[in-house]
Each structure stands twice: as C-alpha cells, then as structure tokens.
Structure 1
C-alpha cells in the first residue's frame, strides 16, 4: 500500500505547494494515488466550441468561472495491483514554447510522494495528446525507468499519430504543431517499450484498459475493480461541462460527434453501476460518482477521506 496520508505533513509546505496535489484511496485491494500535474489555462470556448456564445457564457457564469479563460485541471493516477505498479498517463512534461509554467508537475510530485520511477512496471496511455505523454519526455526520466517497462496504448492510437488529422479540432494557435511534435518524439523515444492492444487488455489483476475512441481514434479508459468496488479513469472522455452539456464539443476532440456519443454512453454506464470516476480534466482530485435523471447528468464528488 502507498505509505501516504491525504493530509499535509506537519512541516510547513513550500510556497508553491499551498494546496494538496495528491490523494490516496483504495478500490478493494487495489491502491490508488491521484496526482495533480498542475493546471492548464485555456480559452473557455474550448469546452464547447459548437455552443452558442451566450449559452456558453451562461454556463461559466453559473459555475462562478471567469468568462474568457480558466484553468483546466491535469490529473494522472498511480495504481498498485498484485506485483504491478501502473502509471496511468504521464502528464504534460515541459514545453517552454507554450509557456505553461503551472503544468508539468507530475514527475516532481511523484518524487515528493516517495515514488521511485524504477518501481513503475507499466504505463497506460489513454491517448497521445501531449498532456498525457509529455512527462516521459522530461530530461532524465527515461534513464530512471526500468528496462522492462511496458507502455500500453491502443493500436489505433499509435497508427493515428503517424499522420494525425486535425480537421475537426478547434485549438489555440500552436497546439496542433506541439501535439504532432510531442507524439513524434514520444514514438521515437519509446517505440521499444510500447505494447499495443486492439480493444482491451488486463494490465494487472483488476486493471483493464479499454478503447473507446471518440476524443482520438484510440482514446481509452481504465477500469479498476476489486472486492466489489470499482473506479474508472476516463481520460478525456469527460470534462467538467460534460455533465450539464454532454453534446458540447471540446476543442481537442478529433471526432467531436463520436466523443459526445462516447461521453453519454460512459456517463450512463457509470450512473448505472454507481462506481467512482476520475478524469484528467475534472477538478482535483476528481474522485466522484455520476447520477442521471432522464437526459440530465450530475457530478457527485466524494467526501474527502482524511
């Protein structure tokens, strides 16, 4: 089990760590650590570029969020099941050209949590956007990983990024080029570690990665199940606005209509099972459940356990 507490240590925190950045919980016999990779400031239209501006502005006003830009959370997870230690997504890393100083904190925060990168036996990549693979490209990280590390990615995701299509996306300037370059760099560095799967794979006891498509062709979710409990890490299938407006198109979706279908199906599934949900861009620690009434979904955050 992780030798961690959800509360801060008695010592005064550093000035750049005034809020919690990790949260530990158990799913049956599986140990889970949600880690914040920081935040990513983006235009508000990225959460619903197909919505009427007035409707989008009203949602942000109702949520007490700024009207022009806001901070997207960036979350990853570390999981221990059996003899496997699995990192689910790897954060943004460092891209100085995009000037995102508050993101890319994952590797440092794993170290602060006492996690040695050499412990990690597997990495699951939900999809190959740079905020999910960039942490593995930080200087010195590859040398700290074990030589038998396995990186699990859907085969269709790897194929897509060899010649990616951005026709249906709606991203700020500079992001498509950065995404292409990061994916190319990642495949060049880690192709020998990558283990592709077609539809799903059990990575460790009770830890199953499943391709959903939508956000990207090979986008995948990870479900943990043990002792009658379950948790799904949804990657970018669900965003904060997706409960109220599941048909709004996110600017990073390569197939927006497909992504909406995936989102609605996943939310209905989770509402039916009552299991926990964690997602990359829900507010940290993003652990909660989903309720549904008709076509309306509701996000139900868990009460923090101290």
Structure 2
C-alpha cells in the first residue's frame, strides 16, 4: 500500500473513530513502522506500532468533568505538551510453537510494515484476538476491501461481536470479516496460554488478554487506560471514549490497584510505544514504568 493510500485510510478510520463520539483530533503525525521483540517464558512477543494520534486538550476527550487547565497541569507536571494529548496505537504479536497470534490490529496504519520489520508476513498470522471493536483496534483487519490477514481466525467476545454488527459505521469491516469470526464468553482460555478477562465499561464486550508462559505473565489490558499520564494520575476522571463511564472508571481503579499490588507486566496499546511495563501506586494515584527489556 502506498504512503498516500495509507494516509487516506488513516484519516478515514480516525475520522470514524472520533466522529462516532463527536470528537476531532488535532493532527496525525507520519506513521513509521516499529517493532520491539522480547521473551515471555518460551514465547516470542513483539510489540508492533501502528499509528499515533495527537488530540487537543479541549475538554472534549480527557477529564470531561474538569477543565483543560486542570488537564494541562497534569501534563505539565509530567513534562509533556499542555495543549495536546498524544496516544500511540499499537498491537501485540505472540508466537508460540503452534500459532502466530495478533492481538488487535490498529487502524491499519504502519502495522503491516511493523510486522515485516519484525520478520513476519500477514499470511503467517493464523489467530487474531480482538479486545474490542473500536476502529483503532479493528481497522487493520481489512485492507483494500479484503482480509488483511487472510488465513487468520478472528476471535472476540460474544457481546462485542453483537455490538460491532449493530454499529453501522463498522458495516464495511463486519461484511468482510463475518465468515472468519469466532466468539467466546470472557473468563476462559481462548488459545493455549491465553485467557480472556472481562474489562467492563469501555464497550459492552471489552476484554483484556492474560498471556502465560511458565511462571511469566503479560496482561494486555486493552483500553482500560488510554493516557499514561492522565489515566494514571486521575483514574476517576471520565474519558469520552468509554461507553459506560461510571463502570469504566470503577474497573480502571480496580484494575490499576490490582496491577500495582501484583507488579505484573502489562501491555497498554495506547501508552508510549512499545507500551510494555509496570503500574506502581503513589498515594492516591499511579505511575507508569516502562520495561527496559522491551525498549
């Protein structure tokens, strides 16, 4: 796909993401492929970069019940620009002895290039696990009106597939992938070594994925959190992306508390690439520490 086609697709999908929530984004930087590989027990894991959104600090996305000035104070304290909020869009590749598994597909920006950079081809992916059906997680399933990963089974929770099919803005994606989707009920093993975990509030069937190999674990927490600054400093602040905001806030606080106590390594697809690291508690808020092994 040419750079011009990629940019056009990114703009179209990103517009869908934000228009569906009556939002707009400030700008979208040039998308560059990137891949960071690391081990999890006997598994080979690769964080894959897809896109990056730069969104305005205008009170319409983060801290809905708070002013842009309050959000700016959090950003300033973290040494970040105060007029925008940057979110990465990334996916996770898991290679076992039997499967090549992709968790989420981004908007379909630099993902294919990142996959190639990691030494893999789309035809080799035989399983795709979806955390939820927002376009910045399923947009990469389709390329030029066809399956981007033609040999893969696509798995998502029953509730999420029903939600996706009812979303008119996803009609084109649903039509292409429908015959390749298999659903599950959250809470059990979806593939060997990978269990689904219900993460309520963001979308009706939003899940995370617990990956285990031997004594090592990695938890893909999906969109439980978005900004590595705001979501951790003020986890009870509402974000426009969450469908059930009170439920999402409750789940976010509960999950962050659990992760801070367990010191479990996580993957957060919207945190700064590669999005792998740890949550720690600091008083009434939380802090992100990237994992040096995956940088």
Structure 1: 4+ residue segments shifted above 6 A: none
Bigger proportion of residues as helix:
2
Matched residue, 2:223: 236
Question: What is the TM-score with the length of structure 1 in the denominator?
Answer: 0.79
Shift of residue 156 of structure 1? 1.0
Equivalents in 2 of 1:266, 1:202: separation in Å? 20
Q: What are the superposed Cα offsets for residues 138-190 of structure 1, whole Å, 9 maximum, x if unpaired?
A: 227526521xx3211111112223445xxxxxxxxxxxxxxx42x22221111
Q: 43, 65, 70: which one pairs with 1:50? A: 65
Matched residue, 2:126: 121
Q: Which runs of 5+ in 1 are unaligned?
A: 1-15, 94-103, 165-179
Q: 253, 257, 263: which one pairs with 1:264? A: 253
Equivalents in 2 of 1:141, 1:188: separation in Å? 10
Equivalents in 2 of 1:43, 1:218: separation in Å? 28
Matched residue, 1:219: 206
Shift of residue 305 of structure 1? 5.4
Question: What is the TM-score with the length of structure 2 in the denominator?
Answer: 0.82
Shift of residue 131 of structure 1? 0.6
Count of residues in correspondence between the two structures: 262
Matched residue, 2:15: none
Equivalents in 1 of 2:283, 2:191: separation in Å? 36
Q: 78, 91, 95: which one pairs with 2:106? A: 91
Matched, 1:24 2:37: yes
Alignment check: 8 A CA contact 2:146 2:176 kept: no
Matched, 1:71 2:76: no
Q: Which runs of 5+ in 2 are unaligned?
A: 1-29
Greater displacement, 131-140 / 33-42: 131-140
Matched, 1:137 2:145: no
Alignment check: 8 A CA contact 2:106 2:138 kept: yes
Q: What are the superposed Cα offsets for residues 204-263 of structure 1, whole Å, 9 maximum, x if unpaired?
A: 321112221211111110111112111111111112221111011122111111111111
Distance 1:65 1:184, change over 3 A: same
Summarize the alignment of residues 1-306 of structure 1 with structure 2, pairs less than 5 Å apart: 21-44=34-57, 45=59, 46-93=61-108, 104-139=109-144, 142=147, 145-146=150-151, 149-163=152-166, 180-181=168-169, 183-239=170-226, 240=228, 241-304=230-293
Distance 1:89 1:82, change over 3 A: same
